[in-house]
Structure 1
Amino acid sequence: MKHNRVLIVCITIMVCAGTLSAETNLTVDEAVQLALENNLSLERTKVDMEGKKRASDRSWNNLIPSVTASGSVSHGTALVGDLSAGRDEWSSGGSLSASWSLSPAIVSGIKQTKTDYESGIITYEEAKQNLELQVRKAFYQILLYRANTDLIGQSIETAQSRYEQAYRSAQAGQVPKLDELSARVDLENLKPSLRSAEAQYMNAMDSFKQILGLPADTDISLTGTLDNDSGTIQVTGIRNVNESYSVSSLRKSLELLEAQKSTAWNQAYMPSLNLSWNTTPTYGSSSKEWTDNGSFSVALSFKLDNYLPWSSAREQIDSYNDSITNYQSQITEALMNSENQIRQHQRSIEQSLESIDSLRLNVELAEETYAMYEESYAKGTADLQSLRSAYDSLSEAKHNVQQEYYNLLSVSLDLEKELNVPFGTLWQ
């Protein structure tokens, strides 16, 4: 029984250790979801938005009357002579006052607060979109680094095989000793390149974990390849139905400026109505009587100095007008820039698709050429330099294909962001 317990404990420890060291596989969509849940920068933007929502929800409290209550006990004092009979007593009392101010500026201020909250929503949604774009681009860039690392690893295996073949041929006197040395140099030169590629991959992975909000010691791997994830991209018949968040943000900023101008104008030129009421009941200890000097008042006030052409209020309103004109110009320019960006991205995608077709043919040609030289070298009818050149051409052709796949995915993401459509919409 004792041995069974020990065995169970050992199995449990092994299972737990395997669970802790297990590697998490992530697709691009899963990585995006992790970032949306854990990214610290996005969380700060969300807190700002929620603060603006709270201010918007409570903006109506400016319409609540101001109410003050107090209580007091007093006794007269005199430094010279005696107190008069009416003052030589303790008196207690209290006061209750209420005031209510009404102005068009209050209503426009409420609208301004709500507009500020709507601007915060756009800012938050834009931050989410930018984060998703960053995650997807980083994901595909890591796939590119991984493909490059794998390609160098394959080159090392090929160089190792070529060196062993050259060594055997040199020992048999079939090729010069120089071929063996050249093959050894090729093999050793590739090893630093592999270490550099691995370091680049690991550095990118560390930055990626930070974006996802994961601890640095978390073991993750990315599921996917550049050629499979690109799929078929449709760029024909694309219409700019939704404005980009950058344009929407400018429009909302313009709306907020107009609300601020309206508030400033109402404060400067519209009357303010103030209703106030107070009661101050006082009880005399000697007279045993209550007295009350309460009052109710209605006041309508104007700030006449604001009507002067050089007043600070007029200068503030003129400043708002200048800012509004500025934002209108920025919106027009942003719309033109967005249309240009869409056209440029479409052309880049079409060019990239054509390049991929051409680069694939280059890979096929390079593979056939390398196979031919490999066979000829084995027969002794081709020299080592020709074989090395053929393999370098093949490696470069494969790398160029992977690089172009990354370019295609990257520019398609930029296009989807500019169109303000869900990422992946263009991919079939």
Structure 2
Amino acid sequence: MRLGAAAILLAALSSPIAVASDFVLTEAKAVELAVNQNLTVAAGRVQLGAKRLASEKAWGVFVPGLSLSAGLSRSNQETSLPSPGTPYHLSGSAQLGASLSLSATTFQNLQTTRLDFQAGRISFEEASNAVTLQVRKAFYHLILLERQLRVTESSITTAEQTLEQIRTDYANGRVQQLTVRQAELSLQGTRLALERQKVQRENALASFKQLIGVDPADTVTLQGTIEIRPISSQEVAASAHVEERPDVRYAAAQIALQKSKNRAAYLSIISPTLNLSASIAPSFPDPFNFNNPPGAGWNDRGSISLSLSSSSLLAFLPFVPQRVNLQVLESSLEALKIQKQNTTQAARTEIESLIRTLEASTAAISSLRGSVGLAQESYDLTKEAYGLGTADFLTLKSAEDDLLRAQYDLLSEEYNYLSTVISLEQATGLDLRGRKE
């Protein structure tokens, strides 16, 4: 038992202990972490590495194939060789061969491999940008939740002060017990709302940690504010270059790749294949008879050959599979061209939609700021009236709810504005916030 306990203790001490890390993140640092540690990006990086390897080593098709074989055989019939009276004997053989086949398709396939890598690089860029967009929005969504928590906590502090004043007034006979119960119920409801907001923030933080690739046990502190900067929608529309977007460039790369595949298929039909081969094939009788002089009976059946072959004699008949395959490939190319047009139109529509959303959000923020000011003024007046006894608690509570709702609406709209700006940056490739990354 003691030995077993000692072994368990030793294993526990020797095993690595996970230590939680503390991260203080700005928007730029969060994006950097995600690019380096996000699992989706990591998987895309591996796939891109495979395409890069295939592109860099594509010249290997010019390395000839080598084959080597050796064997022994025994005659089943009596023979007078190699010496009289020996009915059976062994003979040895070996062969070393090299072969290489070249055609116009070989060189076109090299181009196809290179284009496939280029398309993969654009696809990886697009996937990385998608993760970056999620990180930026999630970063500021967490900041929004923090601001909402602070507003709710401030509301609770005010409600607690109001409740204490109401209890004092009740003790002095100025208000009824019902007013005390209403204030207590209101405070309890606000506290429950705060707990729900905390749970929402914790869930959002857990998703954010997964997104940036850190351990769930790590502590993450965000440094940033939701800033509203005026942006000229006309300048954005004029500066946007849709053709430079990764999704549009990827669609163009797919067209170039398909054209290369089509040409390779066409060349495989019309161009002959050059076959080169050379071999050394020595054979020697009775290899275990050491009385024979070296090289006795040596015979080389090797050869060098050069040939041309073609399978295009009937390939251009409309019902031949090769011809049908060319037609299918051409249809695929036309589909990709249509898809690129659709991607380009969708990109323009997205930018126009984001600009309209940004303009509407700008107007909404201006209106909501006015609403917050009016709600604050209404609450202050109602609170003063309540202190003078000319307003009841329900009126005061209604004014407080209106102020809290106006503050929440403003915070949410400011986040919506910033989220739209981030999406517009991604859609246009422009730096609309003057970031220094």
Deviation of the 1:201 alpha carbon: 0.6
Q: Which amino acid aligns with 2:364?
A: S
Structure 1 match to 2:387: 378
Deviation of the 1:387 alpha carbon: 1.5
Q: Which amino acid aligns with 1:179?
A: T
Structure 2 match to 1:335: 344
| SS state at 1:306 partner | coil
Conserved 8 A contact 2:280-2:302? yes
Q: What does the per-residue CA deviation read over 1:222-255, in whole Å, with 9 as the maximum and x for residues that have no partner?
A: 12232x3x44434331222252221111111122
For 2:402 and 2:333, the matched residues in 1 are separated by 58
- Summarize the alignment of residues 246-261 of structure 1 with structure 2, pairs less than 5 Å apart: 246-261=247-262
Q: What does the per-residue CA deviation read over 1:311-352, in whole Å, with 9 as the maximum and x for residues that have no partner?
A: 111111111111111111111111111111111111211221
Structure 2 match to 1:31: 30
Structure 2 match to 1:271: 272
Structure 2 match to 1:16: none
Structure 2 match to 1:235: 233
For 1:169 and 1:345, the matched residues in 2 are separated by 54
Conserved 8 A contact 2:103-2:271? yes
Change (3 A) 1:118 1:425: farther
Conserved 8 A contact 1:417-1:423? no
Q: Which amino acid aligns with 2:214?
A: L
> When the two structures are superposed, what TM-score results if normalisation uses the length of structure 1?
0.89
Unaligned runs of 5+ in 1: 1-19
Conserved 8 A contact 1:77-1:83? no
Structure 1 match to 2:194: 194
Q: In angstroms, what is the RMSD of aligned CA positions? A: 2.1
Deviation of the 1:42 alpha carbon: 0.8
Conserved 8 A contact 1:73-1:93? yes
Structure 2 match to 1:11: none
- Residue of structure 2 aligned with 1:302, choices 281, 290, 310: 310
- Summarize the alignment of residues 17-416 of structure 1 with structure 2, pairs less than 5 Å apart: 23-78=22-77, 82-85=78-81, 88-226=88-226, 228=227, 230-238=228-236, 239-241=239-241, 242-285=243-286, 288-303=296-311, 304-416=313-425
For 2:414 and 2:426, the matched residues in 1 are separated by 19
For 1:209 and 1:423, the matched residues in 2 are separated by 26
> When the two structures are superposed, what TM-score results if normalisation uses the length of structure 2?
0.87
Deviation of the 1:143 alpha carbon: 1.5
Deviation of the 1:187 alpha carbon: 0.8
Change (3 A) 1:309 1:21: closer
Structure 1 match to 2:15: none
For 2:127 and 2:114, the matched residues in 1 are separated by 20
Change (3 A) 1:22 1:101: closer
| SS state at 1:214 partner | coil
Deviation of the 1:294 alpha carbon: 2.1
For 2:88 and 2:177, the matched residues in 1 are separated by 126
Deviation of the 1:61 alpha carbon: 0.8
Q: Which amino acid aligns with 1:246?
A: D
| SS state at 2:215 partner | coil
Q: Which amino acid aligns with 1:49?
A: L
Q: Which amino acid aligns with 2:49?
A: E
Bigger shift: residues 62-71 or 388-397: 62-71
Deviation of the 1:21 alpha carbon: 7.4
| SS state at 1:237 partner | helix
Structure 2 match to 1:9: none
Conserved 8 A contact 1:274-1:300? yes
For 1:36 and 1:22, the matched residues in 2 are separated by 19
For 1:32 and 1:324, the matched residues in 2 are separated by 36
Change (3 A) 1:423 1:283: farther
Q: What does the per-residue CA deviation read over 1:42-69, in whole Å, with 9 as the maximum and x for residues that have no partner?
A: 1011000000100111111112222223
| SS state at 2:97 partner | strand
Conserved 8 A contact 2:240-2:430? no
Q: Which amino acid aligns with 1:83?
A: T
Deviation of the 1:22 alpha carbon: 7.6
For 1:423 and 1:129, the matched residues in 2 are separated by 16
Change (3 A) 1:281 1:22: closer
Change (3 A) 1:423 1:40: farther
Unaligned runs of 5+ in 2: 1-18, 287-291
The count of corresponding residues between Structure 1 and Structure 2 is 403
Conserved 8 A contact 1:269-1:307? no
For 1:297 and 1:25, the matched residues in 2 are separated by 70
